[in-house]
Amino acid sequence: MTETDTVPPLTPLREDWSTALAVVAHPDDMEFGAAAAVARWTAQGKRVVYCMVTSGEAGIDGMDPDEARRVREAEEVESARIVGVDKVEFLGLPDGVLEYGLPLRRAIAGAIRRHRPDVVITGNYRETFPGGMLNQADHVATGRAVVDAVRDAGNRWVFREQVESDGTEPWGGVRQVWVAASPDARHGADVSATFDAGVASLRAHAAYLDGLGWEDFDPAAFLASMSAPTGERMGVEHAVAFELLLMNGED
């Protein structure tokens, strides 16, 4: 029995949208899987904005956090450029010690109100990744906060100072939230034509990858180990899987 016999096929994500906002905890979170899908959508003329909750300053053991912040922000801007994203926002919250709560929800709701997306993309906030590997605390806090911040952003009486003082209007137009790398993924995007762009975007995190100390790490092989089996579930060469959360009752 093959894996495709036991794992259900993936339903293609809808692509009748124009703007997406990707909100993740760290620089590199999009590149470890979802960036090839972003390259697909920007090639279609869609606008995708990246929002990094932290600058990944605690992510390189041998580099001072202030230097790591500068290096990792620059690497993220370049990796985003490779997949057609020209706007990367850094919220500046502390790396490694994010906590789910009102400050995090407030910051993300503000980003949603500023960029007014149709779709919000985030990372896995479940306890584990597919295959059972334990998730990381910043990912869990950010993903949970994203889901709640989507609702917060549409309510003018929640974080009302953003509306009354900052002049940012409420935004309730998010139709769906797409969660990358979720063990509950049932949808996907064919990235066969943009797989190489996704690989290049991960390679752009050279300092971070070097700091991890993973000997003989091959970004292409690593990404293919996920995208090829996912592609089998869609009948294509490479695909990226997402959990789909409906907002405002829209399917």
Instruction: Compute the average pLDDT of residues 85-111.
Output: 98
Residue 71 maps to a domain:
yes
Q: Residue 107's closest CA among 130, 123, 120, 91?
A: 91
For residue 11, list its beta bridge partners.
187
Buried b (16+ CB within 10 A) or exposed e, 124-153: bbbeebbeeeebbebbbbbbbbbbbbbbbb
Domain total of the chain: 1
Residue 239 maps to a domain:
yes
HSE (side-chain half, CA atoms, 13 Å) at 176: 17
Residue 146 maps to a domain:
yes
Residues composing the chain: 251
- Per-residue model confidence (pLDDT) at position 5: 53
Sign of CA dihedral 77, 209, 206, 36: negative
Domain assignment of residue 163, given as a range = 14-246
Residue 8 maps to a domain:
no
Residue 82 maps to a domain:
yes
Kindly tell me if the per-residue pLDDT of 13 is higher than 70: yes
- Per-residue model confidence (pLDDT) at position 96: 97
CATH of the domain at 228: 3.40.50.10320
Cα 225 to Cα 32, 94, 232, 238: the distances in Å are 11, 31, 12, 10
Residue 5 maps to a domain:
no
- Per-residue model confidence (pLDDT) at position 53: 98
Q: Alpha-carbon distance 235 to 239, whole Å?
A: 9
* Mean pLDDT, rounded, of the chain: 95
Residue 9 maps to a domain:
no
